[in-house]
């Protein structure tokens, strides 16, 4: 029986998919194709690898502090068991992230095969993905280093390439296996066309299969500085006491000091010709990393005019467009090759051929320190969500939903008072030294500076309208006294 541990790398912000993807809710957690998020799709693909010869362990994820509840909640919704969530205090690229996962997987003397994938890709043909990955697992179980190479469909300039050795093809079960000759950087258009004409080149999708011990041995040989620094951070880790949230935090100062490097640069590109020869299994499964809005358009179903429309959209004399309407009607007349993405607080209109340049808008938002760079109007929290539906100089109105049996922190505010009106469900409210229960159409008032908490003791979601009033209404005006989710002060 081969023991396999799925490893999902959940970093990245997906700035080219703004305004749907934002720092606080990046693209891997969005439903861009199908009914599940890209992260959920990745977890489901890996969990489906088990058979009579392969035992798939609970999933390991590597993510940041700000996305920990989002990731764990989406796994719960998808019914995927979570082994640990390894929380990076800062991003250090994929080599330290994979090293954390390998160290975690080898606890208690285990040495599983790691199937490593980014969280933000889509695969159309899951059966083909499974066949290719099973072939890679059989090689990795014997100590090999394996990468999945995507069969190119066009001369793409946005991906790195893998060149395999001529005549190195051997039949390895359900898929061919090739020896890797070299990795090459993202090419220009002419070079990419040459790669396709020559053959033997594949896209590097960043999906690797190898034993945890093999990764650590290779890292020790090629980048001992990264290995030693990550090991030190791991040795100083802390683990969340609550088993429902298995968060593991490496030492903050030690992890911050790790050199930032990718898996490719740190190890994979050094493997050909070394003591760690690397093999490649071709992947021909409708793979796409959805790195831009035109890539999203490519994978979505379209009408006879080439339009891919989601939400409330009306169009006439329009072709080859992508429209994503989140909150209102979007209408198009006599246009073509446009990207239109509407959210409650921002609208993007772009020429489809220029969709990569959305990153320049994001840079402007970031430089201006505008909130639209980071958060949506609707903000997800571990207890539920809130939607800021209106605000003025000294007031803000929020719609708040609290999950059954969940609660906000025990807190107070220095600069604002709050009125709460229950819309649906049952609210248990701590207001100073009083605890009261409110139901639909009942309300209460939280004076400025009063210690308070909102909880949902019921079995259906609680929804309230909150009206804030005061001199300062920022989200950082919170003093937390108790918090179920272990959150620090903002």
Could you give the CA distance from residue 29 to residue 194 in angstroms, rounded to a whole number?
36
pLDDT above 70 covers what percent of the chain? 96
pLDDT digit string (tens) for 68-124? 989 999 999 999 999 999 999 999 999 999 999 999 999 988 999 999 999 999 999
pLDDT digit string (tens) for 438-457? 999 999 999 999 999 999 99
State residue 180's pLDDT score: 93
State residue 12's pLDDT score: 75
Q: How many Å separate Cα 428 from the centre of its chain?
A: 33
Cβ-based neighbours of 480, under 8 Å, separated by 6 or more: 409, 410, 411, 487, 488, 489
Do 236 and 254 meet the contact criterion of CB atoms below 8 Å apart? yes
pLDDT digit string (tens) for 229-249? 999 999 999 987 666 668 999
Q: Is the pLDDT of residue 284 over 80?
A: yes
Q: 2-288 falls under which CATH superfamily?
A: Spore Coat Polysaccharide Biosynthesis Protein SpsA; Chain A (3.90.550.10)
Topology match between the domains 2-288 and 378-482: no
Query: Backbone phi, then psi, for 352, in 5-degree steps?
Result: -60, -35
Region 267-289: mean pLDDT is 92
Q: For residue 430, what are the β-bridge partners?
A: 435, 453
pLDDT digit string (tens) for 166-191? 765 544 444 588 999 999 999 999 99
State residue 170's pLDDT score: 46
State residue 240's pLDDT score: 79
Lowest-confidence region among 19-28, 167-176, 243-252, 293-302: 167-176
Do 437 and 430 meet the contact criterion of CB atoms below 8 Å apart? no
Q: Is the pLDDT of residue 136 over 80?
A: yes
State residue 174's pLDDT score: 42
Do 248 and 85 meet the contact criterion of CB atoms below 8 Å apart? yes
Query: What does the chain come to in residues?
Result: 490
Q: Is the pLDDT of residue 486 over 80?
A: no
The residue among 138, 296, 137 whose CA lies nearest residue 207 is 137
State residue 172's pLDDT score: 43
Of these ranges, 148-162, 185-199, 328-342, 380-394, the one predicted with the greatest mean pLDDT is 328-342
Could you give the CA distance from residue 258 to residue 217 in angstroms, rounded to a whole number?
18
Residue 66: pLDDT band (50, 70, 90) is: confident
Write down the domain spans for the chain: 2-288, 293-365, 378-482
Question: Which CATH number describes the domain made up of 378-482?
Answer: 2.60.120.10
pLDDT digit string (tens) for 371-428? 898 888 898 888 999 999 999 989 999 999 999 999 999 999 999 999 999 999 999 9
pLDDT digit string (tens) for 4-18? 999 999 987 778 899
Could you give the CA distance from residue 354 to residue 340 in angstroms, rounded to a whole number?
12
Q: Is 442 helix (H, G, I), strand (E, B) or coil?
A: coil
Query: Taking every pair of C-alpha atoms in the chain, what is the biggest distance, in angstroms?
Result: 78
pLDDT above 90 covers what percent of the chain? 79
Region 188-204: mean pLDDT is 92
Mean pLDDT of the chain: 92
CA distances, 267 to each of 73, 158, 163, 276, 480 (Å): 33, 21, 16, 9, 44
């Amino acid at each position: 029986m081969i023991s396999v541990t799925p490893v999902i790398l959940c970093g990245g912000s997906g700035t080219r998919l703004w305004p749907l993807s934002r720092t606080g809710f990046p693209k891997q957690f969005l439903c861009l194709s199908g009914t599940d998020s890209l992260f959920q799709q990745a977890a489901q693909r890996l969990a489906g690898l088990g058979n009579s010869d392969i035992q798939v362990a609970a999933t390991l994820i590597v993510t940041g502090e700000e996305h920990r509840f989002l990731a764990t909640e989406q796994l719960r919704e998808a019914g995927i068991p979570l082994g640990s969530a390894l929380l990076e205090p800062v991003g250090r690229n994929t080599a330290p992230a994979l090293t954390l996962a390998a160290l975690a997987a080898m606890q208690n003397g285990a040495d599983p095969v790691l199937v490593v994938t980014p969280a933000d890709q889509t695969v159309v043909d899951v059966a083909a993905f499974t066949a290719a990955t099973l072939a890679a697992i059989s090689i990795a179980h014997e100590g090999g280093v394996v990468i999945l190479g995507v069969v190119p469909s066009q001369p793409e300039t946005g991906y790195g390439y893998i060149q395999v050795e001529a005549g190195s093809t051997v039949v390895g079960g359900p898929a061919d296996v090739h020896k890797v000759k070299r990795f090459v950087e993202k090419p220009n258009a002419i070079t990419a066309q040459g790669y396709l004409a020559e053959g033997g080149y594949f896209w590097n999708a960043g999906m690797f299969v190898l034993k945890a011990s093999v990764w650590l041995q290779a890292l020790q040989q090629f980048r001992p500085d990264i290995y030693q620094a990550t090991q030190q951070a791991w040795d100083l880790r802390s683990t969340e006491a609550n088993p429902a949230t298995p968060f593991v935090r490496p030492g903050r100062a030690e992890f911050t000091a790790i050199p930032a490097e990718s898996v490719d640069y740190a190890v994979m590109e050094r493997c050909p010709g070394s003591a760690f020869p690397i093999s490649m299994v071709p992947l021909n499964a409708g793979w796409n990393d959805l790195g831009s809005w035109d890539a999203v358009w490519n994978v979505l179903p379209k009408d006879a005019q080439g339009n891919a429309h989601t939400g409330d959209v009306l169009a006439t004399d329009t072709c080859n467009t992508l429209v994503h309407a989140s909150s209102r009607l979007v209408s198009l007349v006599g246009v073509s090759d446009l990207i239109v993405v509407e959210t409650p607080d921002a609208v993007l209109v772009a020429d489809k051929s220029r969709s990569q340049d959305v990153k320049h808008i994001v840079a402007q938002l970031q430089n201006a320190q505008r909130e639209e760079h980071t958060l949506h109007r609707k903000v997800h929290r571990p207890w539920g969500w809130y939607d800021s539906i209106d605000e003025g100089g000294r007031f803000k109105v929020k719609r708040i939903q609290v999950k059954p049996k969940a609660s906000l922190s025990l807190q107070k505010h220095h600069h604002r008072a709050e009125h709460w009106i229950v819309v649906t469900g049952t609210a248990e409210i701590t207001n100073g030294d009083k605890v009261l229960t409110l139901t639909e159409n009942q309300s209460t008032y939280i004076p400025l500076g009063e210690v308070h908490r909102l909880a949902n003791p019921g079995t259906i979601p609680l929804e309230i309208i909150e009206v804030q009033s005061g001199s300062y209404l920022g989200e950082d005006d919170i003093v937390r006294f108790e918090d179920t989710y272990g959150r620090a002060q903002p």
